[in-house]
Structure 1
Amino acid sequence: MRLPCEVSVVSRLLPSAGLRGPGRAARALLSLGRPPGRGGVWLLVSTARQRPGTQYQLKENVEHLFTKFVEEGKATIRLKEPAVDVCLSKANSSRLKTFLSALKLANSGAHEETLPLSPLVPPKASEVEKPKTRMSIMSKKEYPLTQSFPYSLEHLQASYCKLARVDMRMLCLKNLRKLDLSHNCITKLPATIGDLVCLQELNLHNNRLEAFSVALCGSTLRKSLQALDLSQNRIKALPAQFCQLQELTHLRLDDNELVRLPFKIGHLRQLRVLSAARNQLPFLPDDFAKLSLENLDLFGNPFEPPRPLVPDIQLKIPLSLLECSARAIVNFRIPYGHHVLPAHLCDDLDMSKTCQCGRACLSCFIQVTVTMNLHSVAHTVVLVDNMGSTEAPALRYFCSLTCYSQFLDRHLQGIR
């Protein structure tokens, strides 16, 4: 019976001798077994530095077990002879409970023969080494074809490997926090990336992606993903559902083919760094004004001149019953979902626009582009062009002729 964990063996005689303890805990493997040529059950504590380990007899030799924090993977075994405390931490709680139960039986000497024990031998080097948490692969030659990735990985980089797709073996790494697949040839992302529940950083810089999956937007990445790099790909647009990635703080979209940013980008409340330089953006979405950024880079986009006096009128008078009903649902915050409304109506409601008066509009509106000072949404702004401008055109919507007329009056007064 074996238990991997971190162990610190502390002698209770050290304080009386004026000596200090051994310091930090070390990765170790605890084993219960019968040593060759000896009777009874013994405890073997093996570490990477001392694989043969130290053996402790258990029969009537355990003074006390401290198990208050066993649910956290912690316990302490106090032995009588020698006078040491074996302090355990970072153990699997269920395996720890089983191990301590067997240790109690070995201490009492009762039912020893029922314990599933094997001869006590030193473990292999791989069993006591600290689990590998980081791995960097920087060429196709280094890429493992026959070996699995260590399940303990938290940071994996596989760059310059000419990968055409995401390796499914990576999607089994449930502890993965950072995945760097930059400088490859990936054309599509599997929806199963969303099963990496701990993933906080995803780097896909310099690949051949043409889209970002809607399925990923609704996966567990909504609650975990904080940094996303999609720069130097071939993406023309991000789905409206992209703004469900509520924990995003850093987003890089440079050097793509974007013709628009997500319609509801203002819903990314945690976003602090946004870079979308050298794309094909003609203007910014209306929701852009809701962002609160630290750094913003929109350099090199072919922004159109703002046209506040040339409206695109999509208004129909009188409003249709569908438009009136939809506006009422949004304005009065009436709950809706696929269980009460058809899916296409729910999608339309999710894409509702907000007039400057605060009321909603769906398919009936007046649209113009106005000048936005980017310093109103970001502390640090990279110049939009070589002329030193920090302004860009942004869409504005109006739910009625009255609202547009009021805006027009204010705009003309500002010109005068």
Structure 2
Amino acid sequence: MRLPCDVEIQNRMLPSHGMIKRGRSIRASIVIGRRPLAGNSEGGIFLAICTAKDRDGAKYCLKGNVVKIFGRFVQEGKATIRIHEPAQDVCISKADPLQLKVLLTAVNLAHRDQDLPNVQLSSLVPAKQSQVERPKTNVVIHRRQDYPITTGFPQRMEFLQVNGCSLKKVDSRILKAKHLKRLDLSSNSICEIPGNLDQLTNLSELNFSHNQLQYLPVGLCKSLHLVRTLQCLNISHNHIKHLPFELVNLARLVRLDISHNSLETLPDNFGKLHHLRFLNMSGSDIKFVPSSFSKLRLEELDLSGCDSALFAASRSIDIPDTPKHVPKLVELAGRTVITAKLPFTEGDIPVTLCFYLSPSRWHWCFQGTPISVEGHPYGTFAVPMDLSQIAHTVTSSDFQRRAAPILMKGYFCSYKCQVMFTGGGYAR
């Protein structure tokens, strides 16, 4: 068997001579095999450590020569084999946990001079150059002919960039890269983001810009792992018309680029992205932002090329004096849940009420009372909102619009809420 890993050799005799030297781990390939004797008879079992400088490998006899095996952190791919002669410690790291367990079991059996029935022993031939090189962690592909067809992707790949290769869909082999942290598939022809991206348990950056996407899948926003790890999402220059309410499940998002799509609205609960700091909405057709938008605290907001209807410089507000209709029972129930601060779980309240509360909208008194999808007794209105209260830096194609307010879609939950709006400085 052959185990690729990082190895550090520590000489235990150095401290007794007043020398303390900490080594450095190097890429190696560990092999267990027999050293052949004269007459083709079988020799003893040895542990060989092959490196790029010594592909023949330093060999250690195992029979009665192992002092102790330290395997407490074997699940993390780490272990130490203490050799009696020479007095050295073989420190192993960055190894596959399953293969490492097999290796340690084989070393223990060889030390006791027992048979190794389930281990295929090597003939201790020199390692190939590819077996002792560090695995590639960054892969960048800009041409179709460079795309791997038969070779596959490196197992420990952390960054993958594939641009201009006319990919129609996401390669299923990419989803097997468990160490992948950054995935850039921009400038292709991908029409759909697969729902099983949850297999990439360490993914923090995702770039699907300049593709043919029609929508952002709900499954991506509900991914068990991505809701904890994803920090940057770029879906710009596509054909997306709507964003799902479940987008706010990606609570760790810091940077979001939704520019140059066909978006006309944002989810009503968009302001729940509390960690969001960089938002690019340039080139969109958005005419209103939801009232929860005022809850954002951004470093940068890009509104370049947005529809002029988004800016409120010349828009008037018509506020009726009387309510439109009496609140529905589900709306009153929703207010009770909010007021009592009940958890939004299906085990505590009816499923229909959970669905009703999921896109909870904010009204002008900002108390969190839910508003029905069909409307509200005191109506829906567009009012100006000062961008300086939301973003530190605002970018716009028109310099004068950087200081201009934008239109925010709000709701009145009661006559008292309407009075707070008209008399509290919100109305212009």
Is 1:24 paired with 2:24? Answer: yes
**Residue 402 of structure 1 corresponds to which residue in structure 2?**
416
**Residue 383 of structure 1 corresponds to which residue in structure 2?**
396
List runs of 5+ in structure 1 lacking aligned partners: none
After superposition, residues 53-132 of structure 1 pair within 5 angstroms as 53-109=57-113, 111-112=114-115, 114=117, 116-118=119-121, 119-132=123-136
Alignment size in residue pairs: 413
**Residue 41 of structure 1 corresponds to which residue in structure 2?**
45
Equivalent of 1:351 in 359, 362, 380: 359
Shift of 1:161: 0.5
Separation of aligned partners in 2, 1:129 and 1:313: 76
Deviation sequence 1:212-246 (CA, Å, 0-9, x none): 11111111321111101111111122111111111
Shift of 1:258: 1.3
Separation of aligned partners in 2, 1:140 and 1:55: 44
Shift of 1:275: 0.8
Deviation sequence 1:289-334 (CA, Å, 0-9, x none): 1111111111221215375631379944432323222322233233
With over 3 angstroms needed to count, the CA separation of the structure-2 counterparts of 1:63 and 1:277, relative to structure 1, is same
Contact 2:331 2:370 in 1 (8 A): no
**Residue 174 of structure 1 corresponds to which residue in structure 2?**
178
Query: Which sits farther off after the overlay, 10-19 or 221-230?
Result: 10-19
**Residue 371 of structure 2 corresponds to which residue in structure 1?**
361
Query: Which sits farther off after the overlay, 124-133 or 265-274?
Result: 124-133
Is 1:234 paired with 2:239? Answer: yes
Deviation sequence 1:363-407 (CA, Å, 0-9, x none): 324222222121211222223634243331212211123321332
After superposition, residues 130-145 of structure 1 pair within 5 angstroms as 130-145=134-149
Separation of aligned partners in 2, 1:115 and 1:409: 81
Q: Per the alignment, in what secondary structure is the counterpart of residue 88 of structure 1?
A: strand
Shift of 1:160: 0.6
After superposition, residues 238-387 of structure 1 pair within 5 angstroms as 238-302=243-307, 303-305=310-312, 307=315, 309-311=317-319, 315-338=323-346, 345-357=353-365, 358=367, 359-362=369-372, 363-364=375-376, 365-383=378-396, 385-387=398-400
Query: Which sits farther off after the overlay, 312-321 or 32-41?
Result: 312-321
**Residue 222 of structure 2 corresponds to which residue in structure 1?**
218
Contact 1:261 1:285 in 2 (8 A): yes
Shift of 1:184: 0.9
Q: Per the alignment, in what secondary structure is the counterpart of residue 36 of structure 2?
A: coil
Contact 1:34 1:117 in 2 (8 A): no
Separation of aligned partners in 2, 1:326 and 1:68: 52
Structure 2 residue identity aligned to 1:2: R
With over 3 angstroms needed to count, the CA separation of the structure-2 counterparts of 1:406 and 1:64, relative to structure 1, is closer
Separation of aligned partners in 1, 2:250 and 2:262: 21
Separation of aligned partners in 2, 1:217 and 1:334: 24
Separation of aligned partners in 2, 1:238 and 1:254: 12
Output the aligned Cα RMSD: 2.7
With over 3 angstroms needed to count, the CA separation of the structure-2 counterparts of 1:115 and 1:276, relative to structure 1, is closer
Q: Normalising by the residue count of structure 2, what TM-score does the alignment of the two structures yield?
A: 0.87
With over 3 angstroms needed to count, the CA separation of the structure-2 counterparts of 1:29 and 1:356, relative to structure 1, is same
Structure 1 residue identity aligned to 2:380: Q
List runs of 5+ in structure 2 lacking aligned partners: none
Shift of 1:272: 0.9
Contact 1:309 1:408 in 2 (8 A): no
With over 3 angstroms needed to count, the CA separation of the structure-2 counterparts of 1:73 and 1:168, relative to structure 1, is closer
Shift of 1:157: 0.6
Q: Per the alignment, in what secondary structure is the counterpart of residue 289 of structure 1?
A: helix
Work out the percentage of aligned pairs sharing the same amino acid: 38
